[in-house]
Chain A
Amino acid sequence: MTEAKIRTEEMLLNMGPQHPSTHGVFRVVVRTDGELILESQSHIGYLHRCFEKCAEGNNYLQVVPYTDRMDYLCAMMNNWGYAASIEKLTGIEVPERAEYIRVIVAELNRVASHLLAFGTYGLDIGAITPFLYAFRDRERILKIFEKLCGQRLNYSYVRIGGVTFDMTDEILSDIEAFCDYFDPKIIDEYDNLLSYNGIFISRTANVGVIPADLAISYGVTGPSLRGSGVPRDLRRDAPYGIYDRLEFDVPVGSGEMGQVGDCWDRYMVRMREMRQSIRLVRQAIKDIPDGPFCDKKAFRGVKPKAGETYKKVEGARGEVGFYVVSDGTNIPYRVKARAPSFCNISILDKLTSMSDVMLADLVAIIGSLDIVLGEVDR
């Protein structure tokens, strides 16, 4: 048969919004040539819930539960980001004990979130067992949170002026027990099971490489940025809370298995961050002072002077920022959230056009960016 008689066509493939590996209701339209992806076009907005508009109709305290539902996998950091920006706006001093509690819960929540990222990433690559291992251990953290504030996912625990409930000694010892259980035994187990598995490395190394300059120009933050070798971590570079008193390292991708900034690097940054988070929790538990855990006055309502502020914290997926404008009433005039997943996923279409990406790689790339659609769409 001559070549002219063989006709091949490009195929337009609609991936999502109902697809197992888009981590929620995310839709990518891909133009494929066989297994190769020529072009992709992301579509977001299926989970849009008007967070920012809702915030304009509720008072400052009532906005906190909305922040839970942005990145529902690390609600503590979202709460904290919002609370911190209002505290900056009003000049509320947060009690010392509350600052320690915030670090403990935020780092535990980071571990829980990274565990889920690890598990689902394994699932994306086709390994099912790590997912269940991750859920087994995430469950322990959720149990602790449940004991602490009665919620497993949408905590609303970190509020303006402190935290909702005090952390009892019993919970502290639970957390210590979890740390002893988890690090280093369990993380080593994960590394043995998945991180250094030959097939896993061959699927993720040299795939979806994000060069550092590209990552910065797209506003990629968090583990996805650090995977590209940029050591930027707000906890260290612009310390908030009590992070300047604690010791921890900022793991960055080094291209151990392939190029700097590939999927494996991004994945591995998360695995290493879990160890650092446990380290932080241990330090915070050791030093936690007695005293009040909240500013009672702030809990009854805040009324900042007219003005505006922007404050960001390091979430599990990157920098969670809140720009708040006050007109002097008890209801915010405007709240604008900077959602890390939103910026991180914006690089996807660039990545698929930059290099030869196969369909299976697209799944690996989306997984390695670790998006939460609740936060992308808000």
Chain B
Amino acid sequence: MSKEFIKGNEAMAEAAVRGGCRFFAGYPITPQNDIPEYLSKRLFEVGGTFIQGESEIASINMVYGVAATGVRSMTSSSSPGLALKSEGISFIAGSRIPAVIINVARGGPALGTIQGAQQDYFASAKAIAPGGFRCFVVSPSTVQEAADLVYEAFEIADKYRTPVYVLTDGVIGNMMEIVELPPMRDPEEMLSSDAWRITKYNDDSSARQFSTYRPTGEMLTVDNIAMAELYEEWQEKEQRWEAFMMEDAEVVLTAYGSAGRIAKSAVKELRAQGIKAGLIRPITLFPFPNKAYENINYDKIDKIFVVEMSIPPQFVYDVELATKSQLDYININTSGGVIVETESIVDKVKESM
């Protein structure tokens, strides 16, 4: 397989095509613009459809409609654009339709900055929109992982009939790195949508339909219980993380996404200085990889360094839950599109040891 030196956004776009994506609708916003730009040309080469919608809201609803017919569909945007798409995502989740949503996040709130940041943690992993639903949320640390996760996202989406949300940021999106792109997936091998997708209208009113409105609380409760069971299944089966140099770690760092790769460098630098550091890097943000934190030796470890490009911090609350509030939580943060530096992580760890 050939390796390519390619931009994160383009790697995700190509991986989507190879993963079976045949419909994309989106609206321009920095720093995700390379995704629609790439797909505007590429999708037509594989018989797919690209639409630049008149707005974010139109785009996500096009994805809702097309995905309901069983076509693998995707949209992408950046933070404030996701705010506009949130209602549509709620409808997709409520209808139990598979789709892939990429957020190449930037600083916020509101328009914020266009530089990469991790200030959308709650808005991605916790509450994309009202109603208590969740997406299956993944967050890559490298361009390779971004491509691999987007590729797989379509399988996960089909398997669980859920929107899969790829939370990345302008750092990964705009960075070029060496990638081995996954192979073009054979449509024959993809999960069948025969059992659920909307087909043509039948006069005997046997046509399938999706509706997110339920006339009684009892009826909606049935849906809500099914969602809760789905999320429990993810918690059981789908937690993913990378444990880096954790076997003999005496100092534990934790970070996800772009901060995760920088924290990894910090761990290596600390090791080079004789400090036995280790890193827990969540890959799924929902389901959150609680199991990763169960392996910490709580008899010896009394604190954890939580590196996150968000002020105020957000990810730390999940770390605190996963570690059952047994540790001191030392936050190392930047915000607003400022990339956290390896040196400042190393310094902070050393002064707090």
Judge: A and B partners, yes or no.
no
List A residues at the B interface (Cβ < 8 Å). Answer: none
